[in-house]
A and B are shown apart, each in its own frame.
Chain A
Amino acid sequence: MELGADAVLVNTAIAIARDPIAMAEGFRLGVAAGRAAYVAGAAAPRTEAAAASSPLTGFLGGDR
């Protein structure tokens, strides 16, 4: 949900729960919560650190 999934397909986890109806309700609330948080939009994390120009490959050093 955080990534913007449109739907959740759940079968086994509900079917084999001790109380499937309660478990289904649990999943329903989980999905609703995720959607609400996604729509609300999380704050951008605040950082004091400088932004790296190569955030993913900087660790490789400059040995190109």
Chain B
Amino acid sequence: VSFLEQLRLVPLEELLELTRDADDWAVEQALAVESPDLHDFAALLSPAADARLEEIAERAHRLTVQRFGRTVQLYAPLYVSNECLESCTYCSFARKNPVERRTLTVAEAVAEAGLLTEQGFRHLLIVAGEHPRLVSADYLAQILAALQPQVPSLSLEVQPQRTHVYERWVAAGAEGLVVYQETYDRDVYAAVHPAGKKRNYDWRLATAERAGEAGMKRLGIGALLGLADWRLEAVHLAAHARYLIRRYWKAFVTVSLPRLRPAAFAIDPPHPVADRDFAKLVCAIRLLLPDVGIVLSTRESPGFRDGVLPLGVTQMSAGSRTEPGGYSHPDETEKQFAVEDLRSPAEVSRAIRDRGYDPVWKDWEGVLNG
């Protein structure tokens, strides 16, 4: 069964109601069971859980340390192109926006990666706008093949593809695929994607499954928090991650919780998510899915990132540039969004150590691929 089919069996209305008005007893129950289910998860997001937040956080923290140790994996995004044919209303790369367009040559991408490996990074996330001709499957395969000798772990966050393209990318050195649904709310999805291929909600929703079929070792999903009710996003995201973990049990599944940031020519978040709700969400995901990776990007402020870290975060980006060529030539091209944590990778690494955690730059080596 696909996730789309399984989603039809999830009692969404009932769960959403719980996220709004679960009572103390439901929260008590959620904390008493050894393996919380989606109903418990929903109760942990409710206002009734606020009074127990420290206790919930303590449990999420213990579970994370038990499963992952005191470690945080560091990665950096590598933007190779901002060419895009889509019309997402929240993104500065949308086709109608008058930003300078740039696609790196393979040599330029290698130079950018070189700057990142010099800083210590061994996990890179290749990011590009959705332009099938200028950011083609061939182009990305060439980038992967060129970077693979110097970077042990390469993931992609690019336009959704068919399974056979993912198979090619895996053969060229791709280890992971990241694809955000942006919003799981179908109406909002249609409104913020007024034109373009991306309008197809179901095709995007099944992307992680196609990557899983193709043998990607890391599967990343996420919702852009702020577009729709965060409780609705949370319930869908949790159900989606749980499905992927069960179905692609050989893969490492991660969830990202990016909060929408100000960006040039883009809309303000209609449903902003409060810090406390964000923290609650991180904890609830950890309690529901003890083995899931939780990613925190530089969209969040330094103080907030340091604070959320022990609640369940397992991966962080650092020193991010969100424009193509941004590491070699900062501030020449429009960024995809404003970065809030401007600390250097070395400073982030030090802050992680100060909290008693080990920054992990590398956790894989190609020779281990059986």
Residues of A at the B interface (CB closer than 8 Å) are 3, 12, 16, 54-57, 59-61, 63-64
Contact = CB atoms under 8 A, between A and B. Distances in A.
Given A56-B310, A57-B54, A12 B370 contact: yes
Contact of B61 (A12, A54, A56, A63): A56
17 contacts: A3-B65, A3-B66, A16-B368, A56-B54, A56-B58, A56-B310, A57-B53, A57-B279, A59-B303, A59-B304, A59-B306, A59-B307, A60-B275, A60-B276, A63-B275, A64-B50, A64-B276
Contacts of B311: 56
Interface of B: 50, 53-54, 57-58, 61, 65-66, 69, 274-276, 279, 303-304, 306-307, 310-311, 367-368, 370
A61 B304 CA distance: 11
Nearest to B356: A45
A21 to B, nearest CB: 19
Given A16-B368, A59-B304, A59-B307, 18 more contacts: A3-B65, A3-B66, A3-B69, A12-B370, A54-B54, A56-B57, A56-B310, A57-B53, A57-B57, A57-B279, A59-B303, A59-B306, A60-B276, A60-B279, A61-B275, A63-B274, A63-B276, A64-B276
B355 to A, nearest CB: 11
A64 B275 CA distance: 10
A64 to B, nearest CB: 6
Contacts of B368: 12, 16
Between A3, A54, A56, the greatest number of chain B beta carbons within 10 A of the residue's beta carbon is seen for: A56
Contacts of A57: 53-54, 57, 279
A54 B61 CA distance: 13
Contacts of A16: 367-368
Nearest to A13: B368
Contacts of B370: 12
B181 to A, nearest CB: 27
Nearest to A45: B356
A64 B51 CA distance: 9
B307 A60 contact: yes
A57 B311 CA distance: 9
Contacts of B306: 59
Contacts of B310: 56
Contacts of B66: 3
Question: Nearest 10 A-B pairs (CB), nearest first?
Answer: A59-B307, A56-B57, A54-B54, A57-B54, A60-B276, A57-B57, A57-B53, A60-B275, A12-B368, A64-B50
B138 to A, nearest CB: 33
Contacts of B50: 64
Nearest to B60: A56
A16 B368 CA distance: 8
Nearest to A61: B275
Contacts of B69: 3
A24 to B, nearest CB: 17
Contacts of A12: 368, 370
B210 to A, nearest CB: 28
Contacts of A61: 275
A54 B54 CA distance: 6
